[in-house]
Copies of this chain bind each other. A is one copy, B any other.
Amino acid sequence: MNNKTLQQLVDKNFNNYKKGKVADYIPALAKVNPKQLGITIYDLKNNDRIQAGDVDVRFAIESMSKVPVLLLAIKDRGIKKVFETINTEPTGFAFNSIMNMEINHRKHPMNPFVNAGAIATTSLINGKDAKEKFERILAFMREICDDPDITLNKEIYQSEAKTGDINRSLAYYMKGNQMIEEVPETLEAYFKQCSVDVTATGMAKLAAVLANKGVAPWSNQRIVSEESATIVKSIMTTAGLYDESGEFSVHVGVPAKSGVGGGLMAAVPNSYGIGVFSPALDNCGNSVAGIQLLKDIVQELDLDIFK
């Protein structure tokens, strides 16, 4: 595959945006132009990348932030501590469900990719206060995405903080059940981590690090441990696409994580890191054109890990 054939797949899938709509729970997301689609594929074998469409457009990372923050939490606290705090089971419930912990009598959030688990993950990040926690998260994101221009989008952040009451409810529920200790600082860092602007190319690089067992292919520097890269790809497979994770796993079959900003990344073990951006979402909150395009790529390059 080259840039040209990739562009053909982008063109083929472009109109899928019409089947979805952009997130509208905050104004800063509602005003995003739905007519965008971009993809970057980082090829580990050739240590090269191909790309097509809107690959440099910045968009909110949103739930995809759960991946780098989980990696940083593991660096900070170790695998044992992180997964003593947060379970790794898929939930069957919506990402923001308040009842899944109570109904399943869990003493732990069910996995790091539902909001409760992601908030608990953020609570484990080292740092003396929310500011320092977020600075460390931001620095780590810049490193693992090889993108020094990632910054906080203040408009998104302020909206997230303003409308984030269900996340507050989840956080206090966890505090009241001894799952996390500190709520306002954790939430400040959490809302900020969701509100940074990234690109499809940056997401492809992050995914490439995961695909490459934790080593940045562009520098040959290890960024995270092999074990944490393996674990995170596993959780992406069972819980990466909200309550569409099982269906995605069946029909596409690569470890992936989505965000309501329209981003989607996929880490194909030992071969590719892929970043996609198209902001119109399906009912579950996943990029419509993004999923279709990724499905085509997976078929074209024969990437389904279950095949």
A92 interface neighbour in B104, B166, B213, Cβ under 8 Å: B104
Asked whether any CB of chain B lies closer than 8 Å to the CB of A71, the reply is no
Copies in the complex: 4
When the two chains form their complex, are residues A87 and B307 in contact, meaning their CB atoms are under 8 A apart? Answer: no
Q: Given contacts A97-B102, A169-B169, A169-B173, is CB(A89)–CB(B247) below 8 Å?
A: yes
- Tell me the smallest distance from the CB of A75 to a CB of chain B, in Å: 17
Report the Cα distance A249→B232, complex, angstroms. Answer: 10
Q: Using a Cβ–Cβ cut-off of 8 Å, how many residues does chain A contribute to the interface with B?
A: 55
A166 interface neighbour in B103, B172, B183, B250, Cβ under 8 Å: B172
Which parts of A130-185 form the interface with B (CB within 8 Å)? 163-166, 168-173, 175-177, 183
Report the Cα distance A89→B83, complex, angstroms. Answer: 23
Q: Binary interface profile of A, 213-237, with partner B (CB < 8 Å = 1, else 0)?
A: 1000000000000100011011101
- Tell me the smallest distance from the CB of A49 to a CB of chain B, in Å: 22
Report the Cα distance A306→B247, complex, angstroms. Answer: 18
Q: Given contacts A102-B99, A172-B166, A176-B165, is CB(A88)–CB(B246) below 8 Å?
A: yes
A93 contacts which chain B residues (CB < 8 A)?
92, 104
Q: Given contacts A97-B102, A306-B269, is CB(A250)–CB(B235) below 8 Å?
A: yes
A250 contacts which chain B residues (CB < 8 A)?
83, 88, 231, 234-235
Q: Binary interface profile of A, 78-106, with partner B (CB < 8 Å = 1, else 0)?
A: 00000100011111110001111011100
Report the Cα distance A100→B306, complex, angstroms. Answer: 27
- Tell me the smallest distance from the CB of A160 to a CB of chain B, in Å: 13
Report the Cα distance A10→B134, complex, angstroms. Answer: 48
Asked whether any CB of chain B lies closer than 8 Å to the CB of A110, the reply is yes
Give the interface of A toward B (CB within 8 A). 83, 87-93, 97-100, 102-104, 110-111, 163-166, 168-173, 175-177, 183, 213, 226, 230-231, 233-235, 237-239, 243-247, 249-250, 253, 255, 269, 304-307
